[in-house]
Structure 1
């Protein structure tokens, strides 16, 4: 960690979000910026939701400023030299004209630049005004998003060049496009009395608890049909391997074996419930509407996170918040080789690789069978701390590249 690093000539950095949909990205931006000694950072967004402020209290204590004040502040306070837009996909469409006007009003030696964080490539053309002013950088939340942005920009350059707009083409050709890693050390507080938070010894190397996280658990977002089908089949093959007795005429569901340690549980954690088949009703549990400190604690309690994506969008064109949430919770996530290559920032201790054609629950079964070795929780904690240090240093290098004059 670069403890006392400074950004030379950076001025004040403003972070903006007109909405409150991506708290986890705000946490990652604030964490990486706070590593620079003496850097003035101002956050403009609606008030925190669901006690998120407690999950970032170890490094950020200021209350958000009203985002409606940003334009006026940019006009009167020329110390603001950099603006990071954490949900630029929507916000620039609302504020783009005012931001360009505020930039034009400033004297030549007091301009500001915009770093637009992108969750997907979307409409890149809307940023042309800032690109032509030489005041734009684009960040994708994963290499696949950054690569889509480069392709979109290349198409814009070609179209501008063909139409004879060489100035716009040259300007877009100079825009920096990079990847930002959306992780931070999330504060975690277990909820008293909730079994998901039962203590797990550091020496445990079991695969007893797996979590799938999403806002919604329909097929569009998460492929729960495959998860339930493979899990149910595996339980029928060898229920004792999972710590269960099979269904019978009087009890039409798998039930935990008495006096058995290592009973497997699959938790779905999000804003809504999942609906497993009756046979899995004591194997699959839902947790909904946690406050953020409990949410991150629930993620951390898992032995493994499964993405269980319902489609290929999250590995080809858009970033899933599950990846950053898992990294911020110090818990590994099972990813296909395609997903690992798409995001580009997973360390080996975090992104646990499975073949593209292997179902996620099949991998879990192989770990429980002892065919695939699994680290102890203590080993995992140490390895994930190394990952967090490396991710933070990478993000710091990014800000140094963009903000150092």
Structure 2
């Protein structure tokens, strides 16, 4: 191409860009712009769902624009009078996160005296009522759970409760099933209610005998708190739908909608942590039971690593003592492991100065302790956490801006965390203690030179494993606050979109 041709092409490009800019400015005030808002939000949302995102991301300004122009409802509001009910003394942080999403949608799109949400539950323990008020999650009214059925049967015409959110399906539905079913049958066709049941654990079958009654009435919707539980329920429903038993296949299992709503709240005043810090604080959160968390395996791996290289963790050699002691000469803070949960647990004497135990914290204390961590270690001891059972640990880590040290399998199971801004991805062959050491020292050579199987070949001899380890070390564990915020905006947007579908029967 000659110089003259290149110059002509450049001029043409400039003229095209000027024309496009003029067209965009001209149409910014067009009434049709409202029809474009949902598409723009969807583009940003699709970008955020990518499974290979780096720690870079969309700016807060762009996300704020998408949020401000969000068109949540493109179908008529069908559910306006909502009851959230639970007799269970826990999981209120789960169903109140859904209430927050529902309230957000209703505040933007609902109006009139018949638009309201009521809570029928036990008192919120551990100071969670204060959290609800501080975060402005809910502006409706609270009632004892004993008044729930009276509210259902007391008003059955216009203005009656038309959507019931059951806080914990496994506990609550068996207790209310018969009365709710009778109330549903007693209403005329124009005033039937829907039941949206929050599920936590697929193997808990006690309540599932009632599913067919609600499925036949096309009045049940299941809500999981993570995608892997949603997928397993969908698979089981599909299997029931093709059962050879007429009592099962005639119930309409295929048509039961199953959705996911991760219970991630917008916790304010999270700490600003130095970007150049050394990994020195990790937390395992959950009930102190080895059936749920592999405390025994983690402790054993840590003691072995301390014997091999105590300085890497900021400790002195054991030298005949019962416990490893922090090394005051270390240039980095000694590594500390925090156990936050409930129950009792025995700590090996070698780890006396490393392990810190926090029991039965209220929510504000819990947020303060966990938000100060560098990483959350799931330490799952059961593979059901990847297929059958949800863990609130995951949502709590996300809402507190603490990255989770986890595998690719974890990311695939808990799909809403499948983002480098939420996860520090360790190779499955690299156990959690080895990954923590590599992240702390920024060096994984001791791991790569090891031969745990005794086959005569090191782990570093596996090229994809070496590459994955190096990628983990290079990416590190530190995440920028604004980028994590942008990631969470995507989670909240998808939650609001689900709430909109729930309110419109879509």
TM-score normalised according to structure 2 size: 0.72
Structure showing the higher strand proportion among its residues = 1
CA–CA separation in structure 2 for the residues paired with 1:6 and 1:345: 20
- Structure-to-structure mapping, 1:198-277, within 5 angstroms: 201-216=273-288, 218-249=289-320, 251-258=321-328, 260-277=331-348
Structure 2 regions of 5+ residues with no counterpart? 1-63, 444-472
Q: 2:232 maps to what in 1?
A: 148
Q: CA deviation at 1:248?
A: 2.1
CA–CA separation in structure 2 for the residues paired with 1:66 and 1:136: 24
Comparing 60-69 with 325-334, which one deviates more in the overlay?
A: 60-69
Q: CA deviation at 1:376?
A: 7.5
Q: 1:51 maps to what in 2?
A: 127
CA–CA separation in structure 2 for the residues paired with 1:165 and 1:248: 69
Structure 1 regions of 5+ residues with no counterpart? 190-198
CA–CA separation in structure 1 for the residues paired with 2:296 and 2:396: 23
Q: Structure 1's 373 and 23: CA in aligned 2 closer, same or farther, altered over 3 A?
A: farther
Residue 250 of structure 2: which of 150, 168, 174 is its match? 168
Q: Structure 1's 244 and 81: CA in aligned 2 closer, same or farther, altered over 3 A?
A: same
Q: 2:10 maps to what in 1?
A: none
Q: Within the alignment, does 1:329 sit opposite 2:410 as a pair?
A: no
Q: 1:196 maps to what in 2?
A: none
1:37-87: CA deviation from partner (whole Å, max 9, x where unpaired): 156222111001010122332223666311111111122234321111120
- Structure-to-structure mapping, 1:39-118, within 5 angstroms: 40-56=116-132, 57-60=134-137, 64-77=142-155, 78-118=159-199
Q: Structure 1's 33 and 61: CA in aligned 2 closer, same or farther, altered over 3 A?
A: closer
1:221-241: CA deviation from partner (whole Å, max 9, x where unpaired): 211122112212222222222
CA–CA separation in structure 2 for the residues paired with 1:221 and 1:167: 35
Q: Within the alignment, does 1:397 sit opposite 2:501 as a pair?
A: no
Q: Contact between 1:140 and 1:146, CA under 8 Å: does it hold in 2?
A: yes
1:356-376: CA deviation from partner (whole Å, max 9, x where unpaired): 222111110110121314568
CA–CA separation in structure 1 for the residues paired with 2:397 and 2:131: 14
Q: Within the alignment, does 1:296 sit opposite 2:367 as a pair?
A: yes
Q: Contact between 2:228 and 2:414, CA under 8 Å: does it hold in 1?
A: yes
Cα RMSD, aligned residues only? 2.4
Q: Structure 1's 220 and 167: CA in aligned 2 closer, same or farther, altered over 3 A?
A: closer
Q: CA deviation at 1:125?
A: 3.4
Q: SS at 2:284's partner residue?
A: strand
TM-score normalised according to structure 1 size: 0.89
CA–CA separation in structure 2 for the residues paired with 1:380 and 1:343: 22
Structure showing the higher helix proportion among its residues = 2
